[in-house]
Amino acid sequence: MSSSTITTKSLITEAVTQSATMTRLLKSYVCGDWYEGTGRRNQLFNPTTEEVIGEATTGGLDYAAALDYARNVGGAALRKMTFAQRGEMLAAMASAIHEHRDELLDLATESCGNTRGDAKFDVDGATGTLAAYAKMAKGLGDAKFLLDGENIRISRSPRYVGRHVMLPRKGVAIHINAFNFPAWGFAEKAAVALLAGMPVITKPATATAVLAERIVEILVNSDVMPAGAFSFVAGSAGDMLDHVTGQDVIAFTGSAATGAIIRGGAAVIKNSVRVNVEADSLNAAVLGPDVKVESPTWDLFMRDVHTDMTQKVGQKCTAIRRVFVPADKIDAVREELSQTLQSTRVGNPAIRLVRVGPLASKAQLDDVQAGIQKLAEVAEIVSGEVGPGELYDLPSGKGYFQQPVLLQANEPEKAGVVHEHEVFGPVATLMPYNGEASEAARLVCLGGGGLVASVYTDNRDFASDCMVEMAPAHGRLTFGSKKVAEHAYGPGMVLPQLVHGGPGRAGAGEELGGIRGMSLYMQRTAIQGDEPMLAKLFEDGTTAG
């Protein structure tokens, strides 16, 4: 376990309060009803003002019963529905959330410290992902399961054939999410599992669960999901994972340390439970040697690095952390980026002019500041410093603020910690390379496996070499060039159509990716038999795509 994780956990523990105060207690939604936990509570804070805005506890929650209810009631109901009907449900969920958009954006600002733009990224990302899967469901029509490939002749008789089918697993999909995306994080997992036909129990990170709880309340009140299809946990996972069975699926997003604990759970190991982990990632951006200062591709590169350092205060698993630049351009990049960062407003996230709000919690602030100091042992801080800096429209001196910090490590090879330690905040490190694709790829791969890497070039040979060398270590590669300079999404944007996940340090998970994401929640089974019988068995199936 990393020292930063220990810091996080101990700070959360310190925040525990014994007494029932006037503060609102968040509720879980299990077994078709709202549940108020008992016993010790965790406090939740407004990251801008440090005021307590809620409390959470799952004390007394009967996880065994909650999981059984989801499996037996929700699973049975979902499996009876066609893909089209499940898609209609997802569309209704998206509409219900969208109807409360303004309220949710305000709540994201209050409970997560999001600027308006950051709040939209999370909340609209949730509705967008649900809507995208609703649309994909239409293409699957009235089928209830997937057929994988065509009939395969497996003997001398043409009548004896085999084919693969994918049916929803008969357990519950347990979704454990990180603090940074309480809206999108729930939706990107739930959309896929529900479309596949599995009931969901979702557990947001406690620190930002206020927004997730309100979304669940909206969904429950809108009555768009069958009973048992959706459950929600506000607070600690308690002994939930002691009750998992071989038909359940755990999809986890968070730190590598927690991912390892979850993977190592006794019931998880005993029952060979399928676990998907989305963890840390030291995402890299590479500027190609062909890119000239102030060209469209240069501008795109500068924009993407700046966006990733500042959007959501750098609290994005996909944010660029390492920036590799040909040695002869590093001064120009540093100067332009530093100027942009220094003119970026940090402060009250409720004010439209502000681009960078507070980090989500005191624990995150402490982790990020300790992380900058760790990086500074091997790299020089070239813009910003540890501390909030001048805050816009915030005279109180309160809040979990950290200004953007750019570092530079002139010998990337010797900057071990830069490639190993993810500082989950508005922080990136600039490093030179010799302009060759193989060298850029070698340095990028020191990150040990990542969610995404981005390459900015108009030279297709350079791009091709980067792809071959870098793709095996990444879940996604994004190429920025002048042809898409005006349209390209930055690497930080996760899209429902493309896979999200990465090997090694990133957890070796894979989510989304359109219809292929459903395979996490379905069992692929080979079926052998006579052709007319198989034709009958496959009547309720369809081939994906």
Q: Which of residues 136-175 bind ligand NAP (CB under 6 A)?
A: none
Among 317, 346, 375, 453, binds ligand NAP (CB under 6 A): 317
Q: Quick check: 163 and 534 in contact, CB under 8 A?
A: yes
Helices 184-196 & 83-99 angle (0-180, nearest 10): 160
User: What is the 8-class DSSP label of residue 318?
Assistant: T
Rounded least distance, CB 115 to ligand NAP, Å = 18
Q: How many CB atoms lie within 10 A of CB 142?
A: 10
Binding flag, residue 205, ligand NAP (CB under 6 A): yes
Rank residues 162 and 503 by Cβ distance to ligand NAP and give the closer one. Answer: 503
Binding flag, residue 216, ligand NAP (CB under 6 A): no
Residues 436-465 vs ligand NAP: string with x where CB under 6 A? ---------------x--------------
Rounded least distance, CB 5 to ligand NAP, Å = 7
Q: Report CA-CA distances (Å) from 485 to 179, 300, 325, 465.
A: 31, 6, 18, 21
Tokens 């893909």 sit at which residue?
83
Among 48, 82, 180, 310, binds ligand NAP (CB under 6 A): 180
Rank residues 91 and 473 by Cβ distance to ligand NAP and give the closer one. Answer: 473
Rank residues 206 and 369 by Cβ distance to ligand NAP and give the closer one. Answer: 206
Question: Considering only 135-143, 201-209, 335-343, 479-487, which stretch makes contact with ligand NAP by CB under 6 A?
Answer: 201-209
Q: Can you tell me the distance from the alpha carbon of 520 to that of 277, in angstroms, rounded to the nearest whole number?
A: 12
Binding flag, residue 179, ligand NAP (CB under 6 A): yes
Indicate the helix (H) or strand (E) that contains 229: none
Question: Considering only 114-122, 248-256, 382-390, 436-444, which stretch makes contact with ligand NAP by CB under 6 A?
Answer: 248-256
Q: How many CB atoms lie within 10 A of CB 110?
A: 20
Kindly compute the dihedral angle of the four CA atoms of residues 18, 20, 24, 26, in this order, to the nearest 10 degrees: 60
Amino acid at 490: G
Rounded to a whole number of angstroms, the CA Rg of the chain reads 24
Question: Considering only 158-166, 236-244, 518-526, 529-537, which stretch makes contact with ligand NAP by CB under 6 A?
Answer: 236-244
Rounded least distance, CB 453 to ligand NAP, Å = 14
Rounded least distance, CB 446 to ligand NAP, Å = 17
Q: Which residue is nearest to ligand NAP (CB)?
A: 254
Kindly report the backbone phi and psi dihedral angles of residue 456, in degrees, each rounded to the nearest multiple of 5, phi listed first: -110, 110
Cα angle vertex 455, ends 511, 466, to 5°?
Answer: 90
Which residue in 97, 92, 386, 378 sits closest to 214, CA to CA?
Answer: 97
Which residue in 514, 515, 512, 489 sits closest to 502, CA to CA?
Answer: 512
Which residue in 367, 340, 501 sits closest to 421, CA to CA?
Answer: 367
Binding flag, residue 233, ligand NAP (CB under 6 A): no
Q: Which of residues 477-506 bind ligand NAP (CB under 6 A)?
A: 506
Q: Which residues are tagged catalytic?
A: 278, 317
Binding flag, residue 176, ligand NAP (CB under 6 A): yes
Binding flag, residue 28, ligand NAP (CB under 6 A): no
What is the DSSP secondary-structure string of 433-465?
Answer: E-S-HHHHHHHHGGGSSEEEEEEE-S-HHHHHH
Which residue in 468, 478, 477, 476 sits closest to 509, CA to CA?
Answer: 476
Amino acid at 112: C
Rank residues 299 and 511 by Cβ distance to ligand NAP and give the closer one. Answer: 511
Number of residues that bind ligand NAP (CB under 6 A): 28
Question: Considering only 257-265, 321-329, 482-490, 532-540, which stretch makes contact with ligand NAP by CB under 6 A?
Answer: 257-265
Among 110, 280, 308, 458, binds ligand NAP (CB under 6 A): 280
Rounded least distance, CB 53 to ligand NAP, Å = 16
Among 74, 254, 490, 517, binds ligand NAP (CB under 6 A): 254
Q: How many CB atoms lie within 10 A of CB 164?
A: 14
Binding flag, residue 220, ligand NAP (CB under 6 A): no
Among 145, 298, 324, 424, binds ligand NAP (CB under 6 A): 424
Question: Considering only 200-208, 399-407, 465-473, 516-524, which stretch makes contact with ligand NAP by CB under 6 A?
Answer: 200-208
Rank residues 371 and 432 by Cβ distance to ligand NAP and give the closer one. Answer: 371
Which residue in 447, 451, 441, 450 sits closest to 429, CA to CA?
Answer: 447
Q: How many CB atoms lie within 10 A of CB 14?
A: 11
Q: Can you name the residues that pair with 456 across neighbouring β-strands?
A: 287, 480
Let me know if 345 is exposed, middle or buried by CB neighbors in 10 A (0-12, 13-18, 19+): middle
- As given in the structure block, the two tokens for residue 540 are 């309720």
Binding flag, residue 236, ligand NAP (CB under 6 A): yes
Question: Considering only 70-78, 176-184, 189-197, 292-300, which stretch makes contact with ligand NAP by CB under 6 A?
Answer: 176-184
Binding flag, residue 253, ligand NAP (CB under 6 A): yes
Binding flag, residue 279, ligand NAP (CB under 6 A): yes
Which residues here bind ligand NAP, judged by CB under 6 A? 8, 176-180, 203, 205-207, 236-237, 241, 253-255, 258, 261-262, 278-281, 317, 422, 424, 451, 506
